[in-house]
């Protein structure tokens, strides 16, 4: 029996290319191979992006993103199909000679693309077996099994949680053709006499060292690069005990924190370097530093085996600052970390407590000082647009981060099925009707306290603040200027501005217009190269509050 594992293409305003490596499918492929199955991986997100029309359900965003904007702090420049076109996908499916197709549906707004993949397979050959898994399926298995074609459904089975054990067990039952029941496999969804059946997820893999290393040989590793160097994701632990109200990690990988041994992790990293020339590793754990002493031990092993700062390490999923201390930060820097991604969420203690993140701001300030002392750059994630937040709270969070040596990572809240915050959105009737509207770029949730225009403006402000921080990092602006000082005639005539090339001076005009009009402007160029400015939709409430509160507050650079 041959299995083809598929990562579907996606359609959106943007794609974070360095986060697209299907490491979960590589883990699954390795497990299937160890059980004797022939396996291939089809990563359909490989390939060029192609501009496509904005779907009708997202038409309300047309005025939010002027696609001809050339402003240096613009947002998105188009709506795209990222990866292989559907015809190319269809040809690869037909030529695969696979008996079973495993489709990944990891992100709810892209579930439509996963279902389209299933439709293509079933319309080509209804006898082929289609299995779907991934984070979305673990949180909402019924949505994958529901089908507009009840007599010929597109998805035959769903696999929830960890698939390395469940998927081979399911295939074994299928091969035995009824000689073994799938009713005793937890975390499996299927149909019985036309009725959807879900075996609840109950068990997780205790011994992670028992799993074979991901089958990276099935991936085109030339496609996954950071700064032109081959990179890969690596998982050192699974599970998160925190159960944050907005996060689905515990629904997919469980609440029990399970770890791999340092020796197994080092062995995998050494194999990646020897076999594939990989020295860039993104630790993709749900909560990498939950066990602080274990993280220290692992970092020490990395230093002992590879040397100080010989590898490039990151943890782009973010780490909880509550589990950090100065010793761990020093070890992370010595082992190869240059940047740490910290999950701040909000400066409002009540919001943090309601979201299940009761860490105080004193601890965060301390971590920033330690990170600066050891030479680590910081990206601080702030979540915008959660039910219960106010415009004032979100603006104050941006102003706080503006005055710290960090880069702001603005994350617009999106609802994830099965989480506490999702249930609140359902109860309050503020969930959009379609999955495709649940993406961050669509500003999915509006409440009595804020609307989409407020969130768009907050998102643009974060982009602007980061832009100014970047100018300070390059010494084109003096660090510590307040907004009032930044726009004084003296500053405008300063040597720092004079260093900017004449063709790049338009960003000054854009910022001056922003302060004058309390509005963002796009920058456009005609066929003769002549520039013009156009006002962009925005929230007066957000802009007025921001400039009232931020006027005399200093802006600090992002780099220590």
Model pLDDT for residues 183-197, shown as the tens digit of each residue: 889 999 999 888 999
Distances (CA, A) of 269 to 214, 237, 287, 312, 454: 11, 15, 19, 12, 44
Closest CA to 290 of 236, 330, 234, 351: 236
Give residue 361's pLDDT: 66
Round to whole Å and give the CA distance between 161 and 144.
Answer: 14
Classify residue 552 as exposed, middle or buried by CB count within 10 Å of its CB (0-12, 13-18, 19+). exposed
Contact between residue 547 and residue 394 where contact means Cβ atoms under 8 Å apart: no
Paired tokens of 84: 């292989």
DSSP state of 430: -
Find how far residue 340's CA is from the centre of its chain. Answer: 15
Complete DSSP assignment for 2-43 = EEEEEE--EEES---GGG---HHHHHHHHHHHHTT-EEEEEE
For helices 452-473 and 391-402, angle between their N-to-C axes, nearest 10 degrees: 0
If residue 175 lies in a helix (H) or strand (E), which one and from where to where?
Answer: helix 163-175
pLDDT at position 508: 80
Q: Which of 357, 137, 109, 133 is nearest to 248 (CA)?
A: 137
- pLDDT value of residue 502: 47
Q: What is the pLDDT of residue 503?
A: 47
pLDDT at 495: 40
Whether 549 and 463 have beta carbons less than 8 Å apart is answered as no
What integer pLDDT is reported at residue 114 of this predicted model? Answer: 96
- From CA 375, how far away is CA 307, in angstroms rounded? 18
Indicate the pTM of the whole model: 0.93
Contact 199, 188 (CB under 8 A): yes
Measured distance CA(57)–CA(37) in Å, rounded = 41
Q: How much is the pLDDT for 226?
A: 84
Using DSSP bridges, classify how beta strands 157-159 and 377-384 pair: parallel, antiparallel or unpaired.
unpaired
Q: What is the pLDDT of residue 116?
A: 95
Q: What is the number of other CB atoms lying within 10 angstroms of the CB of residue 203?
A: 13
Do 2-47+83-198 and 208-457 agree at the fold level? no
Q: What is the dihedral of CA 70, 76, 77, 81, to 10 degrees?
A: 160
- The reported pLDDT for the residue numbered 449 is 97
What is the assigned CATH class of domain 208-457?
A: alpha beta
* Mean pLDDT of successive 10-residue stretches along the chain, which has 560 residues: 97 89 97 97 94 96 89 91 96 96 96 96 95 96 77 86 96 78 92 90 96 97 88 96 89 94 97 96 94 96 97 93 92 97 90 75 88 96 95 97 97 95 95 95 96 97 95 92 79 50 64 87 82 90 95 93
Check: CB of residue 483 under 8 Å from CB of residue 551. yes
DSSP-assigned letters across all residues of 301-339? HHHHHH-TT-SEEE-TT-B-GGG--HHHHHHHHHHTBSE
Domain made up of 2-47+83-198: CATH architecture: 3-Layer(aba) Sandwich (3.40)
Is the separation of the CB atoms in 553 and 483 below 8 Å? yes
CA distance linking residue 43 with residue 304, whole number of Å: 35
Q: What is the CA radius of gyration of the chain?
A: 25
Structure tokens at 385: 């647009």
Q: How far apart (Å, rounded) are the C-alpha atoms in residues 123 and 518? A: 54
Q: Residue 123 in 3-state DSSP?
A: helix
Cα angle 390, 455, 143; round to 5: 100
Q: Where are the domains of the chain?
A: 2-47+83-198, 208-457
């Amino acid at each position: 029996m041959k299995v083809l594992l598929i990562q579907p293409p996606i359609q959106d305003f943007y794609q974070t290319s360095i986060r697209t490596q299907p490491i979960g499918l590589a883990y699954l492929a390795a497990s299937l191979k160890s059980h004797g199955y022939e396996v291939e991986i089809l990563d359909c997100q490989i390939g060029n992006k192609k501009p496509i029309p904005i779907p009708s359900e997202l038409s309300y965003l047309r005025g939010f993103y002027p696609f001809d904007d050339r402003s240096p702090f613009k947002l998105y420049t188009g709506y795209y199909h990222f990866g292989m076109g559907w015809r190319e996908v269809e040809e690869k499916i037909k030529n695969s000679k696979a008996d079973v197709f495993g489709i990944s549906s990891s992100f709810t707004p892209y579930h439509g693309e996963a279902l389209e993949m299933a439709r293509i397979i079933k319309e080509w050959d209804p006898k082929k077996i289609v299995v779907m898994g991934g984070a979305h399926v673990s949180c909402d298995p019924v949505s994958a099994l529901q089908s507009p074609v009840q007599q010929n459904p597109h998805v035959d089975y769903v696999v929830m949680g960890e698939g390395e054990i469940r998927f081979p067990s399911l295939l074994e039952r299928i091969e035995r053709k009824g000689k073994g029941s799938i009713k005793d496999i937890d975390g499996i969804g299927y149909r019985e006499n036309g009725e959807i059946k879900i075996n609840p997820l109950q068990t997780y893999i205790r011994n992670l060292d028992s799993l074979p290393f991901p089958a990276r040989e099935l991936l085109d590793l030339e496609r996954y690069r950071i700064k032109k160097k081959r990179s890969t994701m690596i998982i050192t632990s699974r599970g998160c005990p925190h159960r944050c109200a907005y996060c689905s990690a515990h629904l997919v990988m469980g609440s029990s924190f399970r770890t791999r041994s340092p020796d197994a992790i080092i062995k995998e990293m050494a194999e990646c370097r020897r076999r594939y020339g990989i020295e860039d590793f993104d630790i993709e754990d749900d909560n990498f530093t939950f066990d602080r002493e274990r993280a220290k031990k692992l970092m020490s092993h990395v230093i002992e085996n590879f040397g100080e700062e010989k590898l490039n390490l990151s943890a782009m999923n973010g780490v909880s600052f509550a589990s950090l201390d100065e010793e761990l930060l020093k070890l992370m820097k010595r082992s190869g970390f240059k940047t740490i991604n910290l999950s701040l969420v909000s400066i409002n203690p009540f919001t943090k407590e309601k979201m299940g993140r009761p860490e105080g701001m004193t601890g965060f300030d301390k971590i920033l000082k330690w990170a600066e002392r050891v030479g680590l750059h910081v990206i601080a994630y702030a979540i915008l647009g959660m039910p219960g937040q106010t415009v004032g709270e979100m603006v104050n969070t941006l102003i706080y981060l503006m005055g710290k040596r960090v880069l702001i990572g603005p994350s617009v809240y999106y609802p994830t099925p099965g989480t506490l915050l999702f249930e609140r959105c359902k109860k309050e009737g503020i969930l959009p009707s379609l999955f495709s509207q649940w993406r961050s770029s669509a500003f999915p949730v509006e409440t009595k306290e804020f609307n989409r225009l407020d969130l768009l403006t907050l998102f643009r402000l974060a982009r602007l603040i980061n832009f100014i921080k970047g100018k300070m990092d390059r010494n084109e602006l003096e660090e510590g200027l307040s907004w009032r000082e930044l726009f004084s005639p003296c500053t405008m005539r300063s040597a720092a501005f004079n260093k900017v090339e004449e063709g790049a001076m338009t960003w000054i005009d854009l910022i001056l217009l922003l302060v004058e009009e309390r509005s963002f402007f796009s920058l456009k160029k005609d066929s003769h190269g002549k520039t013009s400015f156009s006002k962009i939709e925005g929230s007066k409430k957000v802009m007025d509050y921001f400039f009232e509160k931020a006027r005399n507050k200093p802006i600090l650079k992002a780099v220590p």
